Amino acid sequence: MAEEAILGYLAKNEEIGDSGEFASKHGLNHDEVVNVIKSLHGFRYVEAQDIKRESWVLTNEGKLYADTGSPEAQLFLAIPPEGGIPREELQIKLGPLLFKIGCAQAAKNRWVDMGGQQVTRRVQHVDDRVKDLLLKIKEGQVVDQDDIKALKARKLIVPQTWNGYSLKKGPDYAPQRKKFAADLTREMLQSGDWKNVEFKEYNFNAKGQPIEAGHLHPLNKVRHQLRMIFLQMGFEEMPTDRYVESSFWNFDALFQPQQHPARDSHDTFYLKVPSTTKELPEDYVERVKCVHESGGYGSRGYEYDWSREEANKNLLRTHTTAVSARMLYNLAQDTLKKPFTPKRYFSIDRVFRNEAVDRTHLAEFHQIEGLICDRGLTLGDLIGVLHDFFSRLGMSKLRFKPAYNPYTEPSMEIFSYHEGFGKWVEVGNSGMFRPEMLLPMGLPEDVRVIAWGLSLERPTMIMYGYNNIRDLFGHKVDLGLIKTNPICRLGL
Ligand code: PHE
């Protein structure tokens, strides 16, 4: 609107002398006109010269008197024409402030007689000039300089600078703004139009649009980095798509006795439907039963009656070592057909434990597990590979503490020195799988498996500064935080 009016006017006229007058003549809002002028000036359609004008605006007090009349006029009207009014009564009628101002001004104007106790009118009629002047100024009319001075002294008006422009055609004037092409299109190239089109210049100062996109959860980001570390170290990922597992693979295959407390329903979630597994490799089950009951391979076993029913029970896997057991069993099966080949395997996935939830524990979390399977491996190899692995996570000071797992011997808890916390923190668990686990599977006798595990949540919480696991995982997670989380890198 304003743009058309300005460019159209300049097509027929030399100049626009005053943007304020132009705006009111064309029924336009002056602020809008000013914005258009700035834009047209930027593109050199017009030349603009600043105009500054002092104008006057009413103060709050000025506005009040413009509505209700000046205090002196109010005072005059409050005095009865005949006989006057006692001072006190007049003061109560007007209020102390209006009374004070009104008295002073009315006396100066010689409108009233303040002598003695009684206030009386000195004239029959008064004109409220102050109110009239205020109304004139409000409407933007010109007022005499002496009157301005007087109103300003009474703080009924204050100056305000008015900014406007005078305009002339600019060097790139056109009666209509040219449309610039923002993109070079396939059609322009085909038709040859690109030769005639004027392209919009790049605005290198423009801010990019915020991108509304999907955001990866911190656990996903850290999992990705860990996966990369394992892949760089030559590990293959194991298939972990099996939350429901049989007790057999989760415990029995790992030489975990059936009376072990971890197998209690207070620690493990068992399934009601389907409550048992249908298929287990029977000859292998037989060997596992034997090793539990009476040992073999140089072991005494646990010397108890092993129950097939117990092994058949379905559960939510309590550790990803169940996956490792299946993989090692498959690897052993392969050696029936072809020579044994060493393997490096890893997994990162969810496990479940029947735990009371608190700020560091959830009933479901993620485990990271790595294992190497080769002939003649030693505890020294395990310590070496742990140093390699953990230093890639930024933990190069490690300590090991003897520990116990039913399926590893020896076993070691892994501690890392945390510079920020200034202390040693437990970062994982490790060991060499027992012969009672590996030999029933059918792996060659000199094959050893070194393995370690840790949670995904722990390093993620440390890196992202979470101190309550429920802020990281579960129904209390703040989605906004996932969008605004910083980029964190393991090992930096
Ligand atoms: N399965 C163990 C746990 O749940 C971790 C582990 C993996 C320990 C491999 C030793 C070897 O804590």
pLDDT digits (tens, 9 = 90+) for 152-199: 999 999 998 889 999 999 998 999 888 888 899 999 999 999 998 889
C-alpha dihedral sign at 217, 223, 226, 227: negative
For the chain, give the mean pLDDT.
93
| Burial classification of residue 479, based on how many CB atoms lie within 10 Å of its CB (0-12 exposed, 13-18 middle, 19 or more buried) | exposed
The whole-number pLDDT of residue 211 equals 81
Find the 130 Cα to ligand 1 centroid distance in Å.
92
Q: Which residue has the higher pLDDT, 356 or 344?
A: 344
Q: How much distance in Å is there from the Cα of 321 to the middle of ligand 1? A: 6
pLDDT for residue 71 is more than 90: yes
Number of Cβ within a 10 Å radius of residue 189: 10
**Cα–Cα dist 223/214, whole Å:** 17
pLDDT of residue 492: 66
Per residue in 268-286, pLDDT tens?
999 999 999 999 999 999 9
> What is the per-residue pLDDT for 491?
76
Q: Is a pLDDT exceeding 90 seen at residue 237?
A: yes
Mean pLDDT of 26-32: 91
- CA-to-CA separations, 199 to 165, 185, 189, 353, in angstroms, rounded: 30, 11, 14, 63
Cα of 449 from ligand 1 centre, angstroms: 13
Least confident of 315-329, 336-350, 415-429: 415-429
Whether 369 lines ligand 1, by a CB cut-off of 6 Å, is yes
User: Token digits for 449?
Assistant: 């498996």
- As a whole number, mean pLDDT of residues 290-309 equals 96
Name the closest-CA residue to atom 5, ligand 1. 453
Contacts of 59 (CB under 8 A, 6+ apart): 155, 156, 157, 158
Residue 256 alpha carbon to ligand 1 centre in Å: 12
Per residue, the 3-state secondary structure of the chain, as one string, reads CHHHHHHHHHHHCCEECCHHHHHHHCCCCHHHHHHHHHHHHHCCCEEEEEEEEEEEEECHHHHHHHHHCCHHHHHHHHCCCCCCEEHHHHHHHHCHHHHHHHHHHHHHCCCEECCCCEEEECCCCCCCHHHHHHHHHHCCCCCCHHHHHHHHHCCCEEEEEEEEEEEEECCCCCCCCCCCECCCCHHHHHHCHHHCCCECCCCCCCCCCCCCCCCCCHHHHHHHHHHHHHHHCCCEECCCCCCEEEHHHHCHHHCCCCCCHHHCCCCCCECCCCCECCCCCHHHHHHHHHHHHHCECCECCCCCCCCHHHHHEEEECCCCHHHHHHHHHHHHHHCCCCCCCCEEEEEEEEEECCCCCECCECCEEEEEEEEEEEECCCHHHHHHHHHHHHHHCCCCCEEEEEEEECCEEEEEEEEEEECCCCEEEEEEEEEEECHHHHHHHCCCCCEEEEEEEEECHHHHHHHHCCCCHHHCCCCCCCHHHHHHCCCCCCCC
pLDDT value, residue 486: 84
User: Any idea which of 190-199, 290-299, 337-346, 481-490 has the lowest mean pLDDT?
Assistant: 481-490
Query: Confidence class of residue 209 from pLDDT cuts 50, 70 and 90?
Result: confident
* Cα–ligand 1 centroid distance for 464 (angstroms): 24
Distance 406 CA to ligand 1 centre (A): 10
Cβ of 370 less than 6 Å from ligand 1:
no
Range in 249-258, 412-421, 480-489 with the lowest mean pLDDT: 480-489
Instruction: Over range 408-416, report the average pLDDT.
Output: 97
Mean pLDDT, residues 284-292? 98
Q: What are the φ/ψ torsions at residue 154 (nearest 5 degrees)?
A: -85, 5
Ligand 1: residue whose CA is nearest its atom 2: 453
CA of 276 to the centre of ligand 1 (A): 25
Among 364, 365, 367, the mutation site with the greatest number of ligand 1 atoms within 8 A of its Cβ is 367
- 114, 103 contact by CB (below 8 A): yes
Rounded CA-CA distance 428/370 in Å is: 11
- Please state the atom number of ligand 1 nearest to the C-alpha of residue 429: 8
Q: How much is the average pLDDT of 254-271?
A: 95
431 lines ligand 1 (CB under 6 A): yes
Sign of CA dihedral 162, 166, 171, 173: positive
Q: How confident is the model at residue 83 (pLDDT cuts 50, 70, 90)?
A: confident
The pLDDT tens digits of the residues spanning 453-475 come to 999 998 898 888 898 999 999 88
pLDDT score recorded for residue 213: 85
The pLDDT value given to residue 481:
87
Whether the link from the prior residue into 410 is cis, omega within 30° of 0, is yes
From 240, 245, 251, 321, mutation site for ligand 1 pocket: most ligand atoms within 8 A of C-beta: 321
pLDDT of residue 139: 85
Give phi and psi for 242, each to the nearest 5.
-155, 85
